[in-house]
Amino acid sequence: MKPDFRAAPPLVSVICLCYQQAAFVRQALESVVCQSYPHWELLIVEDASSDESGAVIQKFISEIPAYREAFRPPRPLPRILFWQNTENQGNCRSFNQALAQARGKYVIDLAADDVLLDHRLASQVAFFDSLPAEYGVIFANALLINAEGRVLGHHYRVNAEGRALHSPPEGDVYAALLRRYFISTPTMMMRKSVLEALGGYDESLSYEDFDFWIRSARHYRYAYQDEVNTQKRILPHSHSQQFYQKKHNPHLHSTLRVCHKAKQLNQSPQEDEALALCVAIIFARVSMCRILPW
């Protein structure tokens, strides 16, 4: 009998970071276990929450065998790692903690209050595998929901067929990312090799996405997949919602540090202009929020 040289389906490492999300983390984890694509591993970091997040996660992990038995035929138990930090490490360090143990070809950074649609892994793996190696990141559209799960809209407005009305930038998106925020972070899938080449997330920063976009887009191309693959939860007290409201906000400090990095990475006057506009918009919004009473 001739040996079968067909490549095994790519493994996807789903890294779920949880801090103070006891109300939502079970739904996030269920959305991984119930994926139609079976080749994944789940790495969970509970970052010293003061709520019941750790207990909720531990209970769910104990129930995963029953979830897998519900598939026909039953699926093998996936690799699951769980860290429960005794001191809060922040998103960037917690992510790198899990990334160091990840075995997948592709990586998803799953916030514990977001939800993966059940086709996501299958669809993204097929799409990523169809792209040349210079593509390091793919992203898609997201359904926006509130704390109760009520639909608020889409990240990109859609037509009657569910397609984005206006296609976002693709390919070399470095300058576009300096000009404006347009990627729905929860929808991204990244090559692990890209994350490793960049040294993971910058642990000196309080949040990760802007820095990762800038550093990765300088060297790799981005592709947009025109479908909804994630439910992104919009909460009133999230970091993004409070970005400009608080004085001495560490997110603002981190953003300005990323802008300084971008200045070193820029390669053209057009990119310098895009960065100058980015900084001007940041300061204009900060000034406005500190003037207004609400």
Pairing of strands 80-84, 189-191: unpaired
Confidence grade of residue 205 (pLDDT, cut at 50, 70, 90): very high
Three-class SS state of 186 = helix
The pLDDT confidence band at residue 292, using thresholds 50, 70 and 90, is very low
Identify the residue whose tokens are 């070809």.
105
Taking 3-state DSSP, the helix, strand and coil percentages for the chain, each rounded to the nearest 5, stand at 40, 20, 40
Quick one: pLDDT at residue 282? 84
Q: Which of 194-208, 220-234, 275-289 has the lowest mean pLDDT?
A: 275-289
Rounded Cα–Cα distance for residues 196 and 82 (Å): 21
Per-residue model confidence as pLDDT tens digits over 18-39: 999 999 999 999 999 999 999 9
- In this prediction the pTM is 0.92
- Residue 120 DSSP class: H
**At a CB cut-off of 8 Å and minimum separation 6, what does 232 contact?**
114, 142, 143, 144, 145, 155, 184, 186, 187
Band the pLDDT of 262: cuts 50, 70, 90.
Answer: very high
pLDDT of 75: 82
- Across the range 67-79, mean pLDDT stands at 82
Residue type for 48, please?
A
Sign of the C-alpha dihedral computed for residues 79, 35, 91 and 187 taken in this order: positive
Q: How confident is the model at residue 6 (pLDDT cuts 50, 70, 90)?
A: low
> At residue 188, does pLDDT exceed 60?
yes
Domains parsed from the chain with CATH numbers: 12-291 (3.90.550.10)
pLDDT digits (tens, 9 = 90+) for 99-122: 999 999 999 999 999 999 999 999
Provide the pLDDT for residue 168.
98
